[in-house]
Chains A and B, each alone.
Chain A
């Protein structure tokens, strides 16, 4: 690999950042984000292949039209790294670019999903939702601001950081950092989930019967064991159903809950 001064300018990377926002438009079932990746990557190629013969330009574009799919925020980092690799490889070594892209897209999609989709978004979403439940417009506004600081921030700095650190990121402790990030966000996310079960899932039974002179109110019994016990049990049950069916029947499950809730309400069990 050659060490020359950077050919790709900050401005080129900023253009990539703006184009990152059309990457998903062409996401299709055949090549997934490939067309989007090329569309986003064009400013880098324009710089590096400015004086190259036509065949090389064609070759470069075809290279980035191969199947590609990852998490959008992770894409920023991958694009940055890919730009660095494109710049430092000779025309014969270009297989490296594809290899690195393909090698990174899977693991980084996992990290992007677990950090942003399964941790950051649920946290901000539930903070926003709890404010909105109380009737405050601050809920959505706060969620919007917090989420976009993180989302836009990771996209913008992902590109620049990926480019400046380039290979260093993945060759050294890169994988280790990713696993650690994944472990970390997993714990935070799961504790938040625990709090959400308690605060958002509400199951209340109005079922009661009289034995002699004693009225047995079931909800009171449950509350004595543990407040929110029914919510916890029900969520666990739903979790196991989802797990058994691989999450494919989530919508049927929602319909099932609606039907059951109506029936149980009719017979005075829930309320």
Chain B
């Protein structure tokens, strides 16, 4: 009970942060606190890291609302720890995030009703009243994440253990295999948004090669990419300029 309440509180705080300070927002930053509450930090790190990579390219773009990573992470991590299986946590995070996404869409659709209120405040000509319009939505933002999280953790934690015990091992193993493949979806979404020219594939391949053959991790690959990015940018810049103006550097052959 206390655990479920604390996790719900944390999910609510993360929800306010998601629309506010945006300091947490990501699975890897939300999961460890759930782990501390549940008394298994180590496992929360594994679940959080898997979800982090899985939802790497996921985020609200324009009017599109993404799967709700906050509820998904909080519930998935809590129940994953309760079941003793990382794969279960990951497998549960996906459907929960989709259900919670629907709640968020309802929230964003219903606060359309704030617009006439905002205009009425504007009519008063009193600047100091504007801030007030934000207070009540904050309560809803908190509740939309905290209440479902509480219900799922409170009622789920008790039975999840038995459910998992009743599952055949190939299912658990298969989900474990899936949790290592699923990050490809997050990466695919990122690629979709970034590859707007086919030639850009060469950079994906270069990064892949550096990692696979030299065993380099993300940080060194990032650093190596900097000069290449600079050259690419220069090439694009020169390409755009050359047919517009002939500048003084031309004699520099």
Contacts and interface: CB of A to CB of B under 8 A. Distances in A.
Nearest to B180: A202
A216 interface: no
A199 B192 CA distance: 20
A231 B184 contact: yes
A34 B122 CA distance: 13
Given A195-B210, A262-B170, A189 B91 contact: no
Given A32-B63, A118-B193, A194-B221, A200 B53 contact: yes
B1 interface: no
Contacts of A54: 125
B14 interface: no
Contacts, number: 352
Contacts of B61: 113, 117
B189 A140 contact: no
A261 to B, nearest CB: 4
B62 to A, nearest CB: 7
B52 to A, nearest CB: 5
Interface of A is mostly: helix
A271 B200 CA distance: 33
B224 A180 contact: no
B24 to A, nearest CB: 8
Contact of B224 (A184, A190, A191): A191
Nearest to B240: A179
A228 interface: yes
A204 to B, nearest CB: 8
B206 interface: yes
Interface in B40-72: 41-42, 45-46, 48-50, 52-54, 56-59, 61-63, 67
Contacts of A125: 26, 28, 52-53, 56
B226 interface: yes
Interface of B: 18-24, 26, 28-29, 31-32, 41-42, 45-46, 48-50, 52-54, 56-59, 61-63, 67, 91, 94, 98, 108-109, 111-112, 114-115, 118-119, 121-128, 130-131, 133-134, 137-138, 141, 170-171, 173-175, 177-178, 180-185, 187-195, 200, 203-213, 216-219, 221-222, 224-226, 228-230, 232-233, 236-237
7 contacts: A24-B19, A39-B130, A57-B125, A69-B63, A187-B228, A193-B207, A261-B177
